[in-house]
Amino acid sequence: MTGHAAPAASPRRHRARRGEGGRLREEILAAGTRLLLETGDEEAVSIRAIAQAVGVTPPSIYLHFADKTELIYAICEELFRKLDDEMAAAAAGVDDPLEELRRRGRAYVRFGLENAEAYRVLFMHHKDEIPETVDPEELGDSATFMHLVEVVQRCLDQGALRPADPMRLAVGLWVLVHGLTSLLISLPGFPWPAEPEQLADRLVADHLQGLLPRP
């Protein structure tokens, strides 16, 4: 992507006082997130641009992140944590756990498309490009995934789904919405049979249909 405007100059901040390192890290992540969302381009999020936005020197960034790759992944992980809020908001006030799963599926796809570059970085990069500081296993312990498991468990407790391992069912649902989101990002020109959220709703509903209790 070309033609990005350089971020407005920020006033140089004073040297951080003792105990302010954590706050500076948060400011760095916030500035990087804004740049990523505004540009939609990982390449436009440079250490220099973030330092300028925060009002520090580039070496200050390296006190908190080993390199740009680690910083980009930290930004994307922060966005992924916000996904949980989006999914919870989409399912607010819904008593039927099956309907909640459908709404969460739509919210997941919508969030992925609205944050396509972050989604691509976090879930669609080659494993050799992932920095050592990023632990993919943490995704399995994330609030986003564990809340999905909890909703699946409620479906099982209410007899809405056939008895099964809730973790396995949750993984199957995640595979479905992740696969759809990845394809929508990678192949926007494909003749999709419906709008993204409608397609997500239909696919999740079809998937759940195969898990309903047998007569």
Going along the chain from its start, the domains and CATH numbers come out as: 21-62 (1.10.10), 80-209 (1.10.357.10)
Q: What was the pLDDT predicted at 194?
A: 95
The residue type found at 15 is R
pLDDT at 137: 59
Cα 5 to Cα 92: distance, rounded to the nearest angstrom: 39
The predicted structure's pLDDT at residue 192:
96
pLDDT in the model for residue 150: 96
Q: What is the pTM of this model?
A: 0.75
Helix (H, G, I), strand (E, B) or coil at 172: helix
Q: CA 184 to CA 6: how far, in whole Å? A: 30
**Per-residue pLDDT tens digits for 75-95:** 877 877 888 899 999 999 999
pLDDT attached to residue 1: 41
Of 184, 29, 28, 155, the closest CA to residue 97 belongs to 155
User: Residue 189 is which amino acid?
Assistant: G
How far is the C-alpha of 140 from the C-alpha of 16, rounded, in Å?
A: 35
> pLDDT class for 8, splitting at 50, 70, 90?
very low
Lowest mean per-residue pLDDT among 7-11, 48-52, 109-113: 7-11
pLDDT in tens, 20-57: 567 899 999 999 888 887 887 778 788 999 999 999 99
- Mean pLDDT, all residues of the chain: 84
- Condensed to tens digits (0 to 9), the pLDDT of residues 134-170 reads 555 555 567 888 999 999 999 999 999 999 999 999 9
Look up residue 203 and give its amino acid. L
